[in-house]
Amino acid sequence: MTHPAGALQNWNIHALVNRYSMLTSSRPQVDHWRAFRDRVRDAGRDERANLLATASAQVRRDVLTMIERAGLGHVGGDFSVTDILVTLYAAVLSVEPAEPDWPDRDRLILSKGHSAAALYATLASCGYFPATELATFMAPLSALNGHPDRTKVPGVETNTGPLGHGLPVGVGTALAARLRGSSARTVVILGDGELQEGSNWEAAMYAAHQQLGSLTAVIDRNGLQQGARTEDTNALEPLADKWRSFGWTVAEVDGHDHAALADVFSASTPDRPTAVIAHTQKGHGVSFMTDRVEWHHRVPTGEELALARAELSR
Amino acid sequence: MIESTNLRPADRTMYDCRKAFADELATLARADERIVAVCNDSVSSSNLAAFRDEFPDRLVNVGIAEQNMVGVASGLANGGLLPFVCAAAPFLTGRALEQIKADIAYADRHVVLCGMSPGVAYGQLGPTHHSIEDLSWLRAIANLPIVVPADPTQTRAAMRWAVSTEGPSYLRIPRSPVPELFAPDTPLEPGRFVPLTDGDDVTLVAAGTLVWRAVEAASLLRIEGISARVLAAPFVEPLDEAAVIAAARETRGIVTVEEATVSGGLGAAVAGVAARYCPTRVRVLGIPGVFAPTGDVEFLLEHFGLTATGIADSARSVLADAGR
């Protein structure tokens, strides 16, 4: 999953961003990712967790650099969802980064589109596009918009940003797979605050009604929304009971425990969609960002960056 | 040009285009197994019962949940299917506007959004059920062709066009009765108006259910020696800019006619092009910035001057302003 050191430093923004067309895959990085995925699959539980933790630290360092260069971003939510994304792409999903439109691929839909930086860094580590592109994050004419655009970034399944859009689209991809006789899975990652949008519950009802066992919703339960705690804004609890009452199988997991995440994603129920409530922390991985509401979209400054990098390099 | 004999009231049969829509959808689905229908409990109002009976697995009825309906359609397209989203136009476009923008148009999905019973077709059910804002809302969204068929033939042609063209589209399927205007092989070209009568005094640009009334208005004007050029606008987006510019140059004024609010629809589009390239007098007919009073369709169209007489009156008024 890691890419050559310095890939993000050796960049020429004008050479990279002067284009509108879709990015294309990086073969060497795809091979690298494939080898990494095989190692993860063959490893024992502890070793698997170590490998995934190393890859996650790299993604977090990339995200930090992207946000530093852009002067914008959502670092808190990026860091709460990083371990989930890395586990899915390295140990769970059946995807072909060199052939992003492969019809039988599993679908990963990032409904919390503001965590685009974490998604981009993860997709680049799989070789969907060269890691050097990460340096263009949010720069003029970059394919890497502040929220993901599927028409420009291979691996992005749908355009998100406004909240409450991912789960309905995921219900559609899961239905399409069943109608076409494909065993492809759909995984939708939702923010917890996002569950205040009613469209999610329209989709939750219908997924259960359709008995979509191939659908998994992962809730990045970091407890914070943009301005405050979810429970102080419009309380979500009892959250597991809500999903159960909508007809879903519910699993709860430590969203930063890679081995546990890999385990929970490998389980499913045939006739019921699964909601994985991943207990996470906003800003996880950097002590002074952890569980702090102001890091929803604060941009770290010089000293904070050095400190954060040091913690993520341990 | 079409034969005006089609429009003589005495031998005129009137059609609800939802029937042609249902027939064509089944025909298309027989030939293309990607096609699925997606609806919001609207099997009856969208006339999908026969489709459901023939293709039970290919009808996705999400219940009364329009945001989910449009999101699901986007996902179905992601999975290689070709969804026709069939729902009453006011709820499809109003309730799910952001899904139409983000999940369909911005995400560039080959999904056919079908707004059924648009305009004031729901009559006495009132402004909550009228879809007069849809053209304005959707014209503001990029990458979304808007097709407003005027009769059963054009409805079928619009559906075939939407299937054969990659990317999103919005079809506004009439319910208010209209006569058959076009021969079965009349071509439907994106961004092209269809000329119905020649004329060099005034131009009438009409869309959907009001096209035949514009043709009747032209007949009334002809009696008085006023020659009116009638252009049917099956595509409100992309607009036939060349035809608008030609009309602005070659006639002395333009009247636009649509079963929609006057802010932002066909009239606004035509006026914008004329103002930019060849300023002329443009009179925009439609629902003039009010919620409609109670009344059936005929009453409401009459109330807002959306009749042959009303259109002819506006044409005379434009010509008077132009100093006839």
**Among candidates B46, B49, B136, B129, which has minimal Cα distance to B84?**
B46
Question: How would you classify the pairing of strands B235-237 and B112-116?
Answer: unpaired
CA B150 – CA B142 distance, rounded (Å): 24
Our CA dihedral for A156, A159, A164, A170, rounded to 10 degrees, sits at -50
DSSP A272: B
- What is the share, in percent, of chain B residues with pLDDT greater than 70? 96
Q: Closest to B71 (Cβ–Cβ): which among A151, A177, A203?
A: A203
User: What stretch of H or E contains A76?
Assistant: helix A75-87
CA A300 – CA A308 distance, rounded (Å): 9
| pLDDT tens column, B41-78 | 989 888 899 999 999 999 999 999 999 999 999 999 99
Beta carbons of A202 and B77 less than 8 Å apart: no
Cβ contact A160:A147 at 8 Å: yes
| pLDDT tens column, A109-147 | 999 999 999 999 999 999 999 999 999 999 999 999 999
Beta carbons of A169 and B63 less than 8 Å apart: no
pLDDT at A307 exceeding the cut of 60: yes
Q: Closest to A103 (Cβ–Cβ): which among B36, B80, B98?
A: B80
pLDDT score of A268: 84
Closest-CA residue of A relative to B62 is A206
Identity of the amino acid at A44: G
Q: How many domains does chain A have?
A: 1
A157 within domain boundaries: yes
Q: Which domain holds residue A114?
A: 13-312
Q: How many CB atoms lie within 10 A of CB A12?
A: 9
**Among candidates A156, A170, A105, which has minimal Cα distance to A128?**
A156
| pLDDT tens column, A217-244 | 999 999 999 989 999 999 999 999 999 9
Burial pattern B174-210, b for ≥16 Cβ within 10 A else e, equals: bbbbbbbbbeeeeebeeebbbbbbebebbbbbbbbbb
Per-residue pLDDT, averaged over B108-121, amounts to 97
A73 falls in which pLDDT band (50, 70, 90)?
Answer: very high
Give the least confident one: A295-304, B80-89, B126-135, B271-280: A295-304
pLDDT score of A116: 98
3-state secondary structure of B19: helix
CA A138 – CA A81 distance, rounded (Å): 20
Identity of the amino acid at B275: A
Catalogue all structural domains in chain B, each as residue range(s) with its CATH number: 14-179 (3.40.50.970), 194-322 (3.40.50.920)
Give the least confident one: A104-108, A299-303, B260-264: A299-303
Largest CA distance in chain B: 62
A2 within domain boundaries: no
pLDDT at A15 exceeding the cut of 90: no
Per-residue pLDDT, averaged over B186-204, amounts to 95
CB-CB neighbors (< 8 A) of A107 in chain B = 78-79
Judged by a CB distance cut-off of 8 A, whether residue B81 touches chain A is: yes
pLDDT at A14 exceeding the cut of 80: no
A239 within domain boundaries: yes
**Among candidates B268, B236, B287, B260, which has minimal Cα distance to B119?**
B260
A24 within domain boundaries: yes
**Phi, psi of B151, deg, nearest 5:** -160, 175
pLDDT score of B262: 98
Beta carbons of A176 and B99 less than 8 Å apart: no
pLDDT at A312 exceeding the cut of 50: yes
**Among candidates B62, B142, B89, B144, which has minimal Cα distance to B111?**
B144
Per-residue pLDDT, averaged over A81-97, amounts to 98
The token duo for A55 is: 């890859």
> Which pTM was predicted?
0.94
CATH code of the domain in which A230 resides: 3.40.50.970
| pLDDT tens column, B287-310 | 999 999 999 999 999 999 999 999
Beta carbons of B62 and A150 less than 8 Å apart: no
A3 within domain boundaries: no
3-state secondary structure of B172: strand
**Phi, psi of B100, deg, nearest 5:** -60, -45
Q: What value of ipTM does the predicted structure carry?
A: 0.93
A60 within domain boundaries: yes
- What is the share, in percent, of chain A residues with pLDDT greater than 70? 94
**Phi, psi of B232, deg, nearest 5:** -85, 135
Mean pLDDT of chain B: 95
CB-CB neighbors (< 8 A) of A161 in chain B = 102
A1 within domain boundaries: no
A8 falls in which pLDDT band (50, 70, 90)?
Answer: low
B12 falls in which pLDDT band (50, 70, 90)?
Answer: confident
Give the distance from residue A302's alpha carbon to the nearest chain B alpha carbon, in angstroms: 36
Judged by a CB distance cut-off of 8 A, whether residue B63 touches chain A is: yes
